[in-house]
A and B are shown apart, each in its own frame.
Chain A
Amino acid sequence: MSPARIERRVLVAGILIVAAVLIVALSTAVAGAQDQAAAVGSVLSTSTAAVTTVAPSVTTTSVASGKGVFALDFTLPTFGKSGCMVCHGDPNLVVAQGDLTHSFWIDQTAYEKSAHGTTVCTGCHVDYGYKAPHGQAGQDWRAVAKQACKNCHPDQYRDWSLGAHAIAPLPGKVPDPKAAFKPLCGDCHGSHDMVILKNNPEGQRQVHGQSEQMCGRIGCHADFWANYNDYYHGAAYKTGAGDAPACWTCHGTHTVLASSNRLAPTNSENLGGTNSCGTPGCHSGANSGYTAYAPMIHGRAKISAENPIVRFFNSVLGR
């Protein structure tokens, strides 16, 4: 074998060895990165699961406080809103959903004037403190954000958990098949533009007028919103009367119960006293005779239709 031929074979072998080493090294690097990502994902899902349980762990309390520190590596900054607002501050930020586009723009000015204006994004979007892009498969980021309220408002969350809107069944009760459609905190209270209520009469007035948005939307209680039209309550409320009752004035706020429930303030046995009709500032001292008016509040059309004179005219007019 000539020396030149030997040299060429050594050169090829050397190249193959270097290539093999490079391939092994790259494979190792990729595998290592995947393992690391899996590890982070595992911690992330554990953290999310933790904050969605009734009793949050110590770790998640600090995570979800809105002012706490993430002890893990993350890509997006969590101490302020600037990282998120790089993209979400752009009014043109939309995501195509079928034939429609959905805006993901956050009006930072409005947000900072809201009740949570000092809370950082990851205070509610607790599952977004780590990586971009968002919306990995299996994440219900909306549900996480809509329930994150409980980390700062545990009393209200407990009250909600005892009412008809609670997802988890009460002890001794079977799971509600409609649980997936029940409202979370954010479904009623909104999100980025929540008004300040404390020492803010204008904010209180504004929220007082939001019965339709909170309770009477299509898919929720649109039927009860439509038939809330008696003289002094519903019809007056719909013209913006500040002294007419909102849904929660009678039905209660977080522990909302069906009127058939004996504990409900709107149960026929509980309408007087300081409940519903007897709410302070309304009809103090309302007795059972007085509360006999209550069926009018959601049943004016029905009671009217049952009136013999109305029935006569309806039959004459062929209605």
Chain B
Amino acid sequence: MFAIILAQVNIWLDVVFTTVYVIMLVVLPIHFLASIPVGRFRKKWILKQWPEHDEPHPPALPKYIHFQHLVMMFVLGFTGLAIRFPFIDGGRTTLRYVHYVAMVIVTLTFFWRLWYAFASKRRDWRAFALTMKDLKSTPGVLLYYSFISNSKPHTDKYNVMQKAAYLMFALFMLLQMLCGFALLEFWTIPLINITPSALLLGWWLAPMTGGLAMAVAWMRILHYALTWMFIILTTIHVYLSATEDIPVTKDFFGFGEHHEAEDGHGRTAVAASAE
């Protein structure tokens, strides 16, 4: 049942994701250029009418956590791809250790962010929760991003696509941590004397695939596919951050200007001007 042709699957992963990414790199500049005829480019980049926000500045801790995630996930992506597509002389041992260290930091940071979202004084999990109101706003948001409409429905701090993207990030990070940990075949966990591969896969996936080696091969495929998902999601995230709301993006990295919501409803300036 699980006797996949590993050689072909590996090639398919490379080809499909590379093709998707190249297409995306072509589409994103076209999308940006499309903002010129509809007037959105002029309003944002010339008239400086950027979206207004309910909160003046993002709090410091989420900003720091975001920055730490950014750096470590870049390190993880770079070292991970350099392990799969070796191009640095000297072998991959150093890359692996850097990957492991970044993995530990990202894992800790992830749980730190979960603590902030659910257990801190400024818990903000509601800002990420998808509601029926969000789902109903989906067509309007899609029409806005495809330049068919100039009015973006405002439901919450984040729109439905942002919420979906951030939740996907969280889910993928959790999966990536687990399947990355499951790739450790040669290190034994102290005290319990078992490898992470055997601990995480030995009792369910190994019997299904005919052995631990095959189960690990599956995890490696999933780990690699998720890496591409991160690359694609992050590229879109960076593009939209830069083109939709550069002031708040700068603010997130400590270079922001102070933006107070004038009407207190968090409406975008574009939406306001459209009215």
Contact = CB atoms under 8 A, between A and B. Distances in A.
Interface in A257-306: 283-290, 292-296, 299-300, 303-304
B193 interface: no
B85 interface: yes
Interface stretch (A153-161, A174-182, A232-240, A247-255): A232-240
Interface stretch (B4-12, B43-51, B171-179, B246-254): B4-12
Contacts of B90: 239-240
A292 B91 contact: no
Contacts, number: 90
Given A309-B16, A310-B15, A241 B10 contact: no
B2 interface: yes
Given A235-B85, A239-B91, A241-B86, A309 B19 contact: yes
A140 B88 CA distance: 43
A240 B11 contact: no
Contact of B4 (A236, A283, A285, A289): A289
B91 A290 contact: no
A309 to B, nearest CB: 5
A253 to B, nearest CB: 22
Contacts of B2: 289
A231 B85 contact: yes
A303 B88 CA distance: 24
Interface residues of A, number: 32
Contacts of B6: 289-290, 292-293, 296
A307 B213 contact: no
B84 interface: yes
Contact of A236 (B15, B16, B92): B92
Contacts of B3: 288-289, 292
Interface residues of B, number: 32
A310 B18 CA distance: 11
A122 to B, nearest CB: 41
Contact of B86 (A239, A295, A299, A309): A239
A242 interface: yes
B211 interface: yes
A236 B84 CA distance: 8
Given A239-B89, A241-B92, A290-B217, A303 B11 contact: yes
A223 interface: no
Contact of A283 (B84, B89, B209, B213): B213
B41 to A, nearest CB: 32
A19 B93 CA distance: 86
Contacts of A313: 19
A240 B15 contact: no
A90 interface: no
A244 B19 CA distance: 29
A63 B207 CA distance: 60
A231 B86 CA distance: 7
A35 interface: no
A239 B209 CA distance: 32
Given A239-B92, A240-B91, A293 B213 contact: no
A243 interface: yes
Contact of B214 (A240, A244, A289, A310): A289
Most buried by B among A283, A288, A313: A283
A287 to B, nearest CB: 5
Interface string A50-76: 000000000000000000000000000
A301 B158 CA distance: 45
Contacts of A307: 8, 11-12, 15
Contacts of A292: 3-7
B56 interface: no
Contacts of B15: 304, 307, 309-310
Closest 4 pairs (CB-CB, A-B) = A293-B6, A241-B91, A296-B7, A289-B3
Interface of A: 231-232, 235-236, 238-244, 283-290, 292-296, 299-300, 303-304, 307, 309-310, 313
Interface of B: 2-8, 10-12, 14-16, 19, 83-93, 209-214, 217
21 contacts: A232-B84, A235-B86, A236-B83, A238-B86, A239-B88, A239-B91, A239-B92, A240-B90, A240-B91, A242-B93, A283-B213, A285-B213, A290-B211, A290-B214, A290-B217, A292-B6, A293-B7, A293-B10, A296-B11, A303-B8, A307-B11
Given A235-B85, A283-B213, A307-B15, 5 more contacts: A239-B88, A288-B3, A292-B4, A296-B7, A303-B7
